[in-house]
Structure 1
């Protein structure tokens, strides 16, 4: 379209399509015709998906100026200069008028390029960043930040980032789920008897997602003679350890690792009974929204942004995440499996909330309003960079004090032995 606004969408991430990539592609595919997106990414899977949707793509392997590896902190000046120069080239080539930085890493080189070209930008954070990364990535000098949950925003706001330059926009899920047309049976597919209960859990098989806690909860249920199956959708480095845990607990027959699935909604809309999360931390909880749209009751820990998705005993069950998680989780699962009225009520309420608050349309509308807001502002009137750089100083001092006290305490204990 002749009057479309060229938008540079910069995405950095691993070479897969998961939560943040899905949300980014949903946004790019549904943007109003006023915006003409160009995706610049190091993610080949995402680049391919965007090209298939007719979106202009610039794919390249980013040289990261600041390492995220805590054991090898470094700053690569040449990589920083190269990426910044490339950003300026793309801005000029596509006549970019607005930049969407999708994750904190590209801030290293894109923020400076945007300032040099006098182009407005916003930074979209899909997870909380630790103090080191908030400082080295330059998040405090970002002219505008969008967080996927209030939980993600807390550290920045506590360090003095201006509230008027930050918005929370929850992720959105397509409204295409239709449980009335479900023809897929998990029980039939996995050879589970129709009268047996099935719990499902979804995510990357990593420590943070807490699948080990869900497996332990299932073992607690079996010890209480409440037998049910657990279907785990996803893959990752902990798969072997989780299978070993299941074997040690004698649950091989009741645990089903089905790997990554291209259509998770199909599984959630099937004949499973409860969706469970064992996450130790979570920025938002996109799969919980998918479960809500599938009218599936959910049980999840009250960590991170999950409390913004699930209202305890209204749209699901929240539990306290601690060392006692497995037996507590088992208790909640048994409760929902035995109380079908409560399960249906929670699932229905969650469905209504998801349909009004967590859709792609709602996410798109909010993001487009923020785009327009940035376009109407003068980038040269951004907040003082020096003042912004000083914001984390109290946090740095507090961190140093905690480290010093910890070292002092350890030394004192050692001297008394």
Structure 2
């Protein structure tokens, strides 16, 4: 018997752009490919709204960017007039708005709450109601995030599943380094250390810049992305006198060639991580990784096997790790090959979509 198709509604209040928003869109596209109906609800000024439109994904603009009565009523009106099988919330604001809208309607539509980051969750009765009663299941993007909710918040383990973000293993592959560097206008012979991440404080760019400043003048730093700390980073780079050695191409719709141009990938985050998509993309490109034991990063990066793990906010340790990899081509090759094998085995896109589909079906059948 053919399984019933679902109408899956994603809500996202965030106006920003990063791995969380990219996962929503890629997951939505995967569900549509499997025959499900998917609708994204988000504020009209959110970056994800225009991105969904450009990708041909169904999206509806609603004023849900803030926790207020207007947002609750807007969601309530939309949900009252549309047949929905499951709601997948993604940020704190839309999770609260969706929970309150559904409670006011009295409809038994299950809510799945996806937790993308490792930021602590408050200990209070209202938050416990949101996660344990209003939400029918919690999805985390890493096992350590799941353990955090069980061990610290005392949430029921049977209602929490870790589903790491899946990456397109056919797209992210090693490439011809010389060819892509020529294409991008990057030096052919210089050692290149790179990062792909939204320019947010907790991604650790400032520590990477500090570490890089002490490296030989022949090295280059590639910072792909944009975000709120850009001006601060530019000021830091100027103050250190390394502007001629740092390339900042901004946001890129396709980061593949930029990854293929790198010798080493570094993401020195110090907070708020699940399993970052950029790390998985870099691993699939066969790059050795330098990162930190934050969030669920250790589920992807194993010290001395698929990369090097350094202490968060420690520029000296980060500098040493970069120097070690740049000075040892055999080690780069060994770690990069192992990283690609691990990403292929554990973090494929189809596995993520299949597991999420299973969760959606389970909650709709048991609501």
TM (norm. structure 2) is 0.88
Distance 2:202 2:125 in 1: 24
Structure 2 matches for 1:214-293, cutoff 5 A? 214-222=208-216, 227-270=218-261, 272-281=262-271, 282-293=273-284
Which consecutive unaligned segments of at least 5 residues does structure 2 have? none
User: Retained in 1: the 8 A contact 2:65–2:93?
Assistant: no
Task: Tell me the C-alpha RMSD between the 2 structures.
Answer: 2.5
1:93 paired residue among 68, 75, 81: 81
SS of the residue corresponding to residue 372 of structure 1 reads: helix
Task: Give the aligned length.
Answer: 356
2:204 maps to 1:204: no
Paired residue for 1:12? 13
SS in 2 for 1:253: helix
CA contact (8 A) 2:112 2:138 kept: yes
Alignment check: 8 A CA contact 1:114 1:121 kept = no
- CA deviations on 1:82-108 (whole Å, 9 max, x unpaired) are 433433333342211211112232121
- In structure 1, stretches of 5+ residues that fail to align are 66-78, 379-417
Question: 1:6-405 to 2 correspondence within 5 Å?
Answer: 6-14=7-15, 16-31=16-31, 33-42=34-43, 44-62=46-64, 64-65=66-67, 79-80=68-69, 82-115=70-103, 116-132=106-122, 138-141=130-133, 142-157=135-150, 158-175=152-169, 176-180=171-175, 184-186=179-181, 189-190=184-185, 192=187, 194-222=188-216, 227-270=218-261, 272-281=262-271, 282-322=273-313, 325-378=314-367
Rate the CA distance shift 1:46–1:60 in 2: closer, same or farther, 3 A. Answer: same
The answer to whether the 8 Å contact 2:63/2:74 transfers is no
Instruction: Give the secondary-structure state (helix, strand or coil) at the position aligned to 2:358.
Output: helix
Aligned-partner SS, 1:267: helix
| Conserved? CA contact 1:149–1:284, under 8 Å | yes
Q: Distance in 2 between matches of 1:304 and 1:372?
A: 28
Give the C-alpha shift of residue 178 in structure 1. Answer: 3.6
| Alpha-carbon offset, residue 227 of structure 1 | 3.8
SS of alignment partner, residue 269 of structure 2:
coil
Q: For the residues of structure 2 that align with 1:7 and 1:34, how far apart are their CA atoms?
A: 11
Shift of 1:372: 1.1
